[in-house]
Structure 1
Amino acid sequence: MAFNVVKPGMLALIQDLGRHGYQHLGVTSGGPMDELAFRWANALLDNADNAPQIEITFGMLTLEAQANTSIAITGADLGAQLNDKPILPWQTYPIKKGDVLSFQQPNHGLRAYLAVKGGFQVEPVLGSVSTVMREQLGGLSGKGKKLEKGDKLPFTGTDDHVQRIVPRLAIPNYDNPDIPVVMGYQFKTFSGLDRAHFFGSDFKVTPDSDRMGYRMNGRAIGGDKKGIISEGIAYGAIQIPNDGQPIVLLRDRQTIGGYPKIGCVTAFGGGLLAQKKPGDIIGFHCVSVDQAERERLLQMARIAQWR
């Protein structure tokens, strides 16, 4: 029992919460670009937190069901349709054998998440099914390939369906241009003017942005700073390369780097940023570690309480 991939779309990847414990070997974590949307999709179906899903970037994916099941869609509004009838994200839907599920171009946001009752059945590599194309790890084949026409996405069929909708209060506002940032330990090596420009300027998301990192274009920040000795890179680290244009490193980031870092976007902020398209305008605002932790605890508590 499976979904048959009729059209693979722009970029559809199998993801779970990531491949952890191998960064010292140069293996990145991968995982969902919008973790909050991923977690809600599994919560809607009473799946385990780490149950594999499909991350759909930009849409244009078409699937045909070969068995009955229940699905949840969260994240961006990619114009999803069930048997040519429009459906909305952030809720569950019953699927019957022969149903066709399709995604169009984005109406709102960039990445949607498709979960199936019980999760997609995919063999893990190094403890995770997360697809990292650059490292050729994870996914259906285990070799880091995106979904292709004719692929079969196995799941355990079920006639058990419960209609559920995520509370409005818990749905992120993907139109919010403000990305929260925690100051890094190299923050004070930047001049006061550079810090003011960083937090007081708007930046445009460039077409060079991907799962590895989002490249910005705007007022140059500390462009005359020298590099540093390469060191480990955390999720959300904001590197300032020689041209002064910030790069926010995300799920498929390299594990070490030698550019100075002005700060780090929060887990919630990284999810917001991952829903931005090339050409979108964003800005950064400073939060404390305590504020970032409280925000994450609030989001996780909402899901736990709802479950």
Structure 2
Amino acid sequence: MTLRVHSTGPLALLQDKGRYGYQSVGVTPGGPMDEHAFDWANKLLDNDLNATQIEITLGQFSCTFYAATSIALTGADMGAKLNGESIYPWQSYVINSGDKLDMGTAKSGLRSYLAVSGGFKVDTVLGSSATVSRDGLGGDDRKGSPLTANRLIRYSVDVSQLSTSFSEPRSRKQVPSRFIPTYDRHINIGVIPSYQYDDFSVVDRERFFSSIYTVTTNIDRMGYRLSGEAIHCQRNNLISEGIALGAIQIPSDGQPIVLMRDRQTIGGYPKIGCVVHADINRLAQCLPGSTVQFYEKELYSAEAELMIQRQFFTSYCS
């Protein structure tokens, strides 16, 4: 059975956890910009951790479900309504055939995630359904195209919901409040000093960590450009090297660029460090005009936090 897309808003993409093992041939992993929200959507439905979802940017998404299932919404609050009745993110909902979901504009945050029980059924490319438009890979057409109106996306019927009637209350699960982030207009971002960190002067390092940077309008799934105090690397003759998620490039204008899910796989700009994994999720929800301040994060502390997070979801989504 299928979901029919009526409107997609600025951008709606099918995403799983990403396409790994191909960066050596120039294929970027892709995957959800806010992995925290993505993981919780699958957890609410007891899905496989890699189950495909729809990532909705800014809102104005609407669709109709043509088979019984359960859905989960996480991430930004987009004023969602189910059959005209308000529903809220970080919860799961029972769906009947013919139910219609409508989203408004994001009230806070930037991206929302829509998951269905069992995940959307999409053919994979290089082992993943992740949509990476710049590589022309993934999505429902396998060519990296964003979703468009009237697209039909398959999902499996949830037989446990077939007997649920409209007169019965909709059962739901909810993410515990301590795990629900607030999408503030100012965030602090942990950075692991790495790459060419030692090639920045002490003065430039202090300026980088003491300054407040503004998220510009020049942001996308490839990178977030920031504006603030310029810093400069003392070394110019760099050879292109592999780039990790969260790497902070410093181009010639001295303005930081945080590289995101659809980043290029290699690059030759100086990089002062790498944003810790948890804070990539928070940055991905920042609207233009938001402000950020960087602070140094110890490598082993960041690794331990990431291992705990992954173990938590692996234990409950298997």
The question of whether the paired residues in 1 share the 8 Å contact of 2:200 and 2:233 is answered with no
Task: Name which of 205, 230, 238 aligns with 1:220.
Answer: 230
- 2:168 is the alignment partner of 1:168: no
Query: Secondary structure of the equivalent of 2:219?
Result: coil
Secondary structure in structure 2 of the residue aligned to 1:208: strand
State whether residues 201 and 233 of structure 2, in contact with CA within 8 Å, keep that contact through their aligned partners in structure 1: no
Question: 2:135, 2:71 → 1: CA distance?
Answer: 29
Pairing partner for 2:219 from 209, 213, 223:
209
What letter corresponds to residue 134 of structure 2 in structure 1? R
1:12 aligned onto 2:21:
no
Which has the higher mean CA deviation after the structures are superposed, 215-224 or 257-266? 215-224
Task: Find the counterpart in structure 2 of residue 135 from structure 1.
Answer: 135
User: Which secondary structure state, in structure 2, belongs to the residue aligned with residue 195 of structure 1?
Assistant: helix
Amino acid at match of 1:112: S
**AA of the residue aligned to 1:276:** C
Mapped to 2, the partners of 1:75 and 1:241 lie a distance apart of: 31
Range 217-226 or range 230-239, more displaced: 217-226
Distance between the aligned counterparts of 2:154 and 2:288, measured in 1?
Answer: 33
Q: 2:124, 2:223 → 1: CA distance?
A: 24
Contact 2:90–2:175 (Cα < 8 Å) also in 1? yes
1:5-41, Cα deviation, whole Å (9 max, x unpaired): 0112110000000000111101100000011111111
Change (3 A) 1:19 1:303: closer
Partner of 1:107: 107
Match of 2:24 in 1: 24
Residues 16, 50 of structure 1: 8 Å contact kept: yes
1:183 to 193, 213, 220: 193
Could you tell me which of 263, 268, 279 is aligned with 2:278?
A: 268
Q: Which structure 2 segments of 5+ residues have no match?
A: 162-170
In the alignment, what sits opposite 1:282? 292
Separation in structure 2 between the aligned mates of residue 30 and residue 292 of structure 1, nearest angstrom = 22
SS in 1 for 2:120: coil
**Structure 2 contact 233–270 (Cα < 8 Å) conserved:** no
Q: Secondary structure at the match of 1:207?
A: strand
Report runs of 4+ in structure 1 exceeding 4 Å deviation.
304-307
Question: Which of the residues 232, 248, 254 maps onto 1:244?
Answer: 254
TM-superposition CA deviations, 1:153-201 (whole Å, max 9, x none): 1101124355211111112232251111111131111011111111111
Contact 1:13 1:54 in 2 (8 A): yes
Partner SS, residue 215 of structure 1: strand
Q: Distance in 2 between matches of 1:160 and 1:280?
A: 43
| SS across alignment from 1:268 | helix
- For residues 31-50 of structure 1, the aligned pairs below 5 Å read 31-50=31-50
Given that 2:199 and 2:235 are in contact with CA atoms closer than 8 Å, whether structure 1 keeps it comes out as no
Q: Identify the residue that residue 120 of structure 2 maps to in structure 1.
A: 120
Amino acid in structure 1 at the alignment position of 2:190: P
Q: Is 1:200–2:224 an aligned residue pair?
A: no
Partner residue, 1:155: 155
SS of residue matched to 2:111:
strand
Q: Residues of 1 paired with 2:7 and 2:277: CA distance?
A: 32
- Aligned: 1:230 with 2:247: no
The 8 Å contact of residues 70 and 159 in structure 1, kept in 2 or not, is answered as no
User: Could you say which residue in structure 2 is the equivalent of 1:65?
Assistant: 65
Distance 1:199 1:137 in 2: 37
Contact 1:227 1:260 (C-alpha < 8 Å) held by counterparts: no
Q: Which moved more, 1:227-236 or 1:273-282?
A: 227-236
C-alpha separation in 2, matches of 1:232 and 1:223: 18
Segments of 5+ residues of structure 1 without an aligned counterpart are none
Distance 2:33 2:234 in 1: 31
Aligned pairs, how many?
307
The alignment partner of 2:109 has SS state of strand
Provide the rounded CA distance (Å) in 1 between the counterparts of 2:143 and 2:5.
Answer: 18
- Structure 1: distance between partners of 2:104 and 2:261: 25
- Equivalent position of 2:2 in the other structure: 2
Change in CA separation of 1:114 and 1:96 when aligned onto 2, cut-off 3 Å:
same
Amino acid at match of 1:169: R
SS in 2 for 1:41: helix
Q: Counterparts of 1:95 and 1:250 in 2: how far apart (Å)?
A: 33
Specify the alignment match of 2:165 in structure 1: none
